[in-house]
């Protein structure tokens, strides 16, 4: 090989070696740069709570600036945004956060017990139990009028399960708002189902009329009442107006009943025995949805799914503080239950419904059933009911 060719070959090797060294130097520099950035990062840079909260809305971020970046705080910020919460000042926000933390701990500890139901954060999680009782429950009502009834059972084989929603006669879930008027929604729910079953079409009836006008029958507007007493009022008043003509306001007001706007009339009523779940099951199975009253205890407000049961709620005539509508029954994972429609909006519970354990007179249930007078149902009038039922006619 000539000296010139040897020099060219040597130059190529030198350039290749220099290029390789340059690449190694660049890679080393990048690694050193990354290490120095990681070593100099702050808590905020590496904190997963901070990184998640960086993607929140402006409202959620403003909440975190007040109460800090913690897991409870992040849950609270998301809760407040989802449910449209707006607090008057920083002090109220901090108070609501403390209540939220306590309720969240209750929810999580309950869900670890292996019970047949689960709880979840909902629109009430920043309310204290006292506030919830004031705004969503009525004062304890006396169901003693139904301790001895005249309902008669018949020898009939009941279906293993029932769900009146599948028949299409159950009206949509409503929301009573911040008013202890659950008893009015239980009443209208029963009447609306009876009307739909008899006449083949839906109707929405006025809860507000009951709030404003039924006081003479031992009802107290936003402070509570009973469906049985509401049915008696409708019977003697001459009817119940439609929702459209007498809309709901969630406040106590002056009576504005108009006979021109009546949707249904109650013709008669009858009681059955308080706590007789066999009679209640017979009524739900063979006739239609039944108004029921029971006692709500603190954990129930966070119900999400499963079959609710409690060892702390009462079962005497004076224990009931909430009225709802039983629309069916069944068995879930070996636990028999009542299927019940609530009046706390469709976001609460299982799309506005819940299941309660059957067979133990859970929480002092008593009920009220309405019968519409057509030929077939009049023949059944003396055979069905739950604590109280009524005969109605529509217009």
SS3 195: helix
Quickly list DSSP for 136-193.
Answer: HSPPPB--GGGSS------S-PPPS-EEGGGTT-SPPP-B--SSS-HHHHHHHHHHHH
Q: State the catalytic residue, choosing from 182, 213, 313, 366.
A: 182
Separation of alpha carbons 98 and 56, rounded Å: 21
Q: Is 252 within 8 Å of 237 (Cβ atoms)?
A: no
* Measured distance CA(170)–CA(202) in Å, rounded: 9
State how far the Cα of 102 lies from the Cα of 359, in Å rounded to an integer: 32
What secondary structure letter does DSSP report for 100? H
Give the span between the Cα atoms of 137 and 321, in whole angstroms.
6
CB 298 within 8 A of CB 129: yes
Say whether 292 sits in a helix, a strand or coil: strand
Catalytic-labelled residue, pool 103, 122, 237, 342: 342
The question of whether 261 is a catalytic residue gets the answer no
Catalytic residue among 151, 196, 282, 322: 322
Active site residue 322: yes
Is 135 catalytic? The answer is: no
Catalytic residues: 182, 322, 342
């Amino acid at each position: 090989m000539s000296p010139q060719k040897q020099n060219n070959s040597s130059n190529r090797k030198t350039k290749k070696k220099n290029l390789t060294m340059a690449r190694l130097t660049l890679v080393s520099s990048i690694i050193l740069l990354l290490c120095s950035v990681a070593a100099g990062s702050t808590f905020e840079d590496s904190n997963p709570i901070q990184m998640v909260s960086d993607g929140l809305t402006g409202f959620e971020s403003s909440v975190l600036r007040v109460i800090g970046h913690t897991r409870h705080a992040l849950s609270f910020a998301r809760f407040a945004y989802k449910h449209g919460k707006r607090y008057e000042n920083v002090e109220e926000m901090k108070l609501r956060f403390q209540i939220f933390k306590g309720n969240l701990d209750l929810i999580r500890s309950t869900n670890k017990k292996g019970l047949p139901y689960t709880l979840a954060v909902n629109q009430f999680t920043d309310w204290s139990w006292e506030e919830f009782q004031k705004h969503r429950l009525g004062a304890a009502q006396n169901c003693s009028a139904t301790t001895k009834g005249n309902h008669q059972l018949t020898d009939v084989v009941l279906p293993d399960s029932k769900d009146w929603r599948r028949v299409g006669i159950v009206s949509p879930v409503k929301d009573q708002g911040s008013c202890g008027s659950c008893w009015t929604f239980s009443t209208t729910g029963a009447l609306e189902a009876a009307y739909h079953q008899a006449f083949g079409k839906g109707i929405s009836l006025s809860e507000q009329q009951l709030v404003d006008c039924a006081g003479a029958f031992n009802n107290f507007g936003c402070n509570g009442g009973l469906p049985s007493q509401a049915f008696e009022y409708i019977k003697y008043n001459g009817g119940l107006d439609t929702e459209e003509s007498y809309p709901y306001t969630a406040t106590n007001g002056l009576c504005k009943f108009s006979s021109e706007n009546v949707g249904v009339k109650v013709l008669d009523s009858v009681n059955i025995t308080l706590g007789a779940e066999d009679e209640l099951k017979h009524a739900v199975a063979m006739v239609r949805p039944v108004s029921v009253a029971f006692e709500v205890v603190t954990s129930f407000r966070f119900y999400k799914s499963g079959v609710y049961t409690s060892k702390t709620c009462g079962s005497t005539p004076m224990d009931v503080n909430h009225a709802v509508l039983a629309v069916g029954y069944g068995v879930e994972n070996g636990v028999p239950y009542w299927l019940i429609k609530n009046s706390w909006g469709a976001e609460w519970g299982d799309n506005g419904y819940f299941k309660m354990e059957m067979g133990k007179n859970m929480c002092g249930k008593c009920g009220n059933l309405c019968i519409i007078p057509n030929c077939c149902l009049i023949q059944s009038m003396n055979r069905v009911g739950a604590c109280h039922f009524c005969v109605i006619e529509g217009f």
